[in-house]
Amino acid sequence: MITIPIKHPITQYIQENSQSCVMALGFFDGVHLGHQKIIRTAKKIAKDKGLKLAAMTFAQHPSSVIPKGPTITKFITPLSEKAKVFEQLGVDILYVVDFTKELAKVPHQQFVDQYIYGLNSKHVVAGFDYKYGFKGKGDMSQLPIDSKGRFGVTTVSKLEQHEQKVSSTLLRALISTGRVEEIYQYLGKSYEMRGEVKGKGRTCTFSFDPSYYMPIPGHYEVTVKSNLFQAKGMCEVKSIHHPGELTITFFEDTLFKDFENATLQWNNFIADFEMDALHAQGDLRELEMSM
Ligand SMILES: Cc1cc2nc3c(=O)[nH]c(=O)nc-3n(C[C@H](O)[C@H](O)[C@H](O)COP(=O)(O)O)c2cc1C
Ligand SMILES: Nc1ncnc2c1ncn2[C@@H]1O[C@H](COP(=O)(O)OP(=O)(O)OP(=O)(O)O)[C@@H](O)[C@H]1O
């Protein structure tokens, strides 16, 4: 997979050197089961047409520029992790566009002309609620009009679990209320962070990208994994404003050496007296208000 960073205004050089592709559109934080449906749909079309599969995401979350709702600066999958998952899913080209104030003002037709048709898209795949262009005026009913017949459009229907949309917002709400054990049903795996393990005996320090989205403070059962090693332990999240470092206490004596390429898997919240009641009720709203 090749990753191509793009800053607005997009250059003719990037456009002229782009390969014919099927383009998947979105931010894709977490690359959850809904996102995987988009990528898999686009991959099949790319295979059928003998084209490369491209995905377009943004270096910053649109909320960091668009003044509505919460500003998202922490991620379920920081960009490097998101890229790894895209590569595993068979994405050939990853366009990472800087989402700046200037880009946010680009009208929907101009975005299509310069960033979709301009990047040699022969077919575009996005989900039912994808929005693009100034004020989010472009949507999946507008895209076929803006295409002007220059590329095909596939709209992927909503993937739901328990009658609600599988979404990055939902995953963030589960993580920020300690319900990490529920992530699996929406992500297809547990919530994981990639990082570095250092330590000896029963404890280690796990260092990771501080832009990962942190669970609510409390004690968690976790699993530290690498290609040669796996052990369960406990860690305490003392603050969501963390320095990108956690101390893990293993449940058993563990022979391991420092690992650069390790994974911390969040298994479940270890209920304690303060959180137990609210966590058990699973009342997201009450918990969020108390934070
Ligand atoms: C080039 C471009 C410009 C955009 N400009 C805006 C904007 O000015 N205002 C806006 O609300 N969304 C804009 N969007 C859409 C946002 O990326 C995002 O999808 C939308 O704000 C999220 O809406 P939602 O919360 O309804 O999903 C733009 C998207 C693109 C690709
Ligand atoms: N559950 C879903 N079913 C189908 N398509 C989805 C689903 N969730 C996201 N998509 C699509 O995946 C792409 C990426 O969307 P986006 O990054 O906004 O994900 P999201 O989960 O909706 O995020 P957020 O909750 O932060 O709005 C878009 O084309 C979007 O329409």
CATH of the domain at 13: 3.40.50.620
Question: Do 237 and 175 touch, CB atoms closer than 8 A?
Answer: no
Residue appearing with tokens 């052990």: 231
129-160: pLDDT as tens digits: 999 999 999 999 999 999 999 999 999 999 99
At 243, the pLDDT band (50, 70, 90 cuts) reads: confident
CA proximity to 80, closest of 171, 211, 190 = 211
Q: Give the domain-ending residue among 158, 189, 208.
A: 158
Q: Is the CB of 111 inside a 6 Å radius of any atom of ligand 1? A: yes
pLDDT of the residue at 256: 67
Q: What is the helix (H) or strand (E) element at residue 104, kind and residue range?
A: helix 101-104
Residue 148 domain-assigned (yes or no): yes
Residue 199 confidence (pLDDT): 84
Do the domain assignments include residue 228? Answer: yes
Query: Do residues 215 and 151 share a domain?
Result: no
Burial 96-112 (b: 16+ CB within 10 A, else e): bbebbeebeebebebbb
Q: What is the mean pLDDT of the chain?
A: 92
C-beta of residue 278 within 8 angstroms of C-beta of residue 286:
yes
Paired with 125 in beta bridges are 24, 154
pLDDT at 241: 67
Does the structure show a pLDDT above 90 at 179?
yes
Ligand 2 touching residue 28 (CB < 6 A): yes
The predicted-structure confidence for 32-89, as pLDDT tens digits, reads as follows 999 999 999 999 999 999 999 999 999 999 999 998 888 999 999 999 999 999 999 9
| Same domain for 213 and 92 | no
Task: Work out the average pLDDT over 13-35.
Answer: 98
Q: What are phi and psi of 90, to 5 degrees?
A: 95, 15
Give the range of the structural domain holding residue 99, as residue numbers without chain letter: 2-158
**Are 232 and 252 in the same domain?**
yes
Complex prediction ipTM? 0.97
Which pTM value belongs to this model?
A: 0.92
CA of 172 to the centre of ligand 2 (A): 13
Inform me whether the pLDDT recorded for 282 exceeds 90. no
Residues 7 and 139 in one domain: yes
User: Which ligand approaches the C-alpha of residue 126 most closely?
Assistant: 2
**Whether 12 and 150 share a structural domain:** yes
The count of structural domains within the chain is 2
**pLDDT at 255 exceeding the cut of 80:** no
Q: Is residue 196 part of a domain?
A: yes
Ligand closest to CA 75: 2
